[in-house]
Amino acid sequence: MFEGAELGRKVSKEDYKAEEPELRTRLLAAQRRAWQAGLPVVVLISGVDGAGKGEVVNRLNAWLDTRGLEVHAFWDASDEERERPRWWRFWRILPARGRIAVLFGSWYADPIGERVSGETDDAALDAELARIGQFERMLTEDGALFVKFWFHLPADEQQRRLKKLAKDPKSRWHQAPDTLAASAARHDTFLRVAERVIRETDAGIAPWYLIESTDRRYRDLTVGRTLLDAIEERLANHAPANGRRFSHAPHLPEADSAHVTVLDHVDLSRALDKAEYREQLEHYQARLNALTWKAWAKKRSCVLLFEGWDAAGKGGTIRRLASAMDARLYRVLPVAAPSDEERAHHYLWRFWRHLPRDGRVTVFDRSWYGRVLVERVEGLAEDVAWRRAYQEINEFEQQLVDHGSVLAKFWLHISPEEQLARFEAREQTPYKQHKISDEDWRNREQWDAYKAAVNEMVVRTSTEFSEWTLVPANDKRFARIEVLRTVCERLAAALDEDRGGD
């Protein structure tokens, strides 16, 4: 999930100065309209240490009219707060209708902190998240607007900032130097717990917005534009958003440098020569054959799914996988447009029907991610449907993994130039002409829209139990070996876990 906030997005000083005045003007206008409409707005500021959460609060103070703004920072509970039920401290500061409350820390801080420190277990965390969900739903149904921001930094950037803050006499890190070492020690655990919290509480009525915080100008503009967008959308709809803004995707600044995606970080120059390819192909196919038989013996099913650009090489890669496995153990399922029967059911119904038995392998050539890719981009699903699909997909995949299935998800990535060359080659090769259609050419015109959809798909559904593998596929040989190697590693790791539990 957090890889979507480590993309190097940034905004130059010139672009920031160009965008800020209009943003401030529109924010003030939206704030006045929210006051007139009696819309209470709750802005949650959460995230990793050192991400500049306090700076964001100060920026909002500067941009908004402070006469209609309340800022509440939650630190250690006071004696007065400890002598009352935990939620008392939050109920007492909720904004009146028409006002905006910015909460620096919130009802999420203690559940995360207690789970990271080991004071509570997963069951206790889940119970608290269910309570939080009910609380946010209740207030939203009463008319409140929640805008929840999670600020993230890469580990090395976070440590650099915290060390700098520790030298500042005005910083809390200087006053309590032990907290720096504690923050570094708990970093990975904190992110695992945070991912779970965000995934479980990211609802259409109260979505989380994941904000990359390495570049301060990008961070601040993105927060301002996203807050503005949320207020304007609620005012335009005159009702709680029932899934419309169900998204980690914030409203980005206009600068091109603010629109970097996970695909821009895929190294498309990676390649293999023919000799090395043949050697590795023989090695990994033999290993895959042995592993699938071991998985069959241990009754561990395997689900492999492939998404990617048209002409990215999914078919050729799947054939290399299939040729390594015994035909009795696997099934390849090409996924096309749903039939009338399938459309009459929930979109996940047709995939549940084709899940493999224990010990078998099912390969999906395209998958349930069509809901958040082609159906999203082409307008084949309503916004409310594809926006809620991320959580539905995460829950579906968690059930697969909890059952013991090995799940591997691949996006095959190529450049627009490589796709064009492959399209033209298909048109000129008689036995490949069936692979190219007018729709393929039309989809090229939607490249940027699909790229944005892929970015959000990876951010929202690359989880601790089901991560995406982004495969550089400009060189087909490299892509095929990368997929084979990854599948072998996932199967081997799963079978090793079985041995460890014996």
The DSSP letter of residue 96 is: P
| Tokens found for residue 72 | 């509440």
Beta bridge partners of 41: 100, 145
Instruction: Determine what percent of the chain is predicted with pLDDT higher than 90.
Output: 58
| Cα–Cα distance for residue pair 183/158, rounded to 1 Å | 10
| Cα–Cα distance for residue pair 199/197, rounded to 1 Å | 6
Q: Whose structure tokens read 């003030």? A: 28
With cut-offs at 50, 70 and 90, classify the pLDDT of residue 247: low
| Tokens found for residue 217 | 């100008």
pLDDT, position 224: 96
Angle between helices 178-185 and 187-201 (to 10 degrees): 60
Average pLDDT over residues 209-221: 94
Residue from 452, 465, 340 nearest 350 by CA: 340
Residue 156 has phi, psi (to 5 degrees) of: -70, -40
Neighbouring C-beta atoms of residue 216, cutoff 10 Å: 16
Q: Which CATH superfamily is domain 265-500 in?
A: P-loop containing nucleotide triphosphate hydrolases (3.40.50.300)
Using alpha carbons, list the distances in angstroms from residue 334 to 84, 366, 431: 58, 7, 19
With cut-offs at 50, 70 and 90, classify the pLDDT of residue 90: confident
Mean of per-residue pLDDT scores for the chain: 88
pLDDT, position 225: 95
| Tokens found for residue 254 | 């206009």
Q: Name which residue leads in pLDDT, 142 or 291.
A: 291
Strand runs (DSSP E) across 286-434, as ranges? 302-308, 330-334, 361-365, 406-413
Residue 435 pLDDT exceeds 70: no
Residue 112 pLDDT exceeds 70: yes
The DSSP letter of residue 356 is: P
Average pLDDT over residues 194-206: 87
| Tokens found for residue 320 | 């290399």
Strand runs (DSSP E) across 247-339, as ranges? 302-308, 330-334
pLDDT, position 496: 87
pLDDT, position 244: 45
pLDDT, position 431: 59
CATH class of 2-259: alpha beta
With cut-offs at 50, 70 and 90, classify the pLDDT of residue 5: confident
Average pLDDT over residues 272-294: 97
Q: Where are the domains of the chain?
A: 2-259, 265-500
Q: What is the pLDDT of residues 149-181, one digit of tens each?
A: 999 998 888 888 888 877 766 655 545 555 555
Q: Measure the CA angle with vertex 15, ends 45 and 69; round to 5°.
A: 30
pLDDT, position 86: 80
pLDDT, position 174: 44
pLDDT, position 433: 58
Same CATH topology for 2-259 and 265-500?
Answer: yes
pLDDT, position 186: 79
Average pLDDT over residues 430-450: 75
Q: Which of 106-115, 387-396, 429-438, 457-466 shows the lowest mean pLDDT across its residues?
A: 429-438
pLDDT, position 498: 59
Q: What is the pLDDT of residues 414-424, one digit of tens each?
A: 999 999 999 88
| Cα–Cα distance for residue pair 160/222, rounded to 1 Å | 23
pLDDT, position 27: 96
pLDDT, position 245: 46
Classify the C-alpha dihedral 154-156-157-163 as positive or negative. positive
Q: Whose structure tokens read 């800022």? A: 71
| Cα–Cα distance for residue pair 107/128, rounded to 1 Å | 9
Residue 235 pLDDT exceeds 80: yes
Residue 340 pLDDT exceeds 80: yes
With cut-offs at 50, 70 and 90, classify the pLDDT of residue 239: low
Residue from 417, 419, 414, 411 nearest 456 by CA: 411
Average pLDDT over residues 50-75: 92
Residue 183: half-sphere exposure toward Cβ, Cα within 13 Å: 23
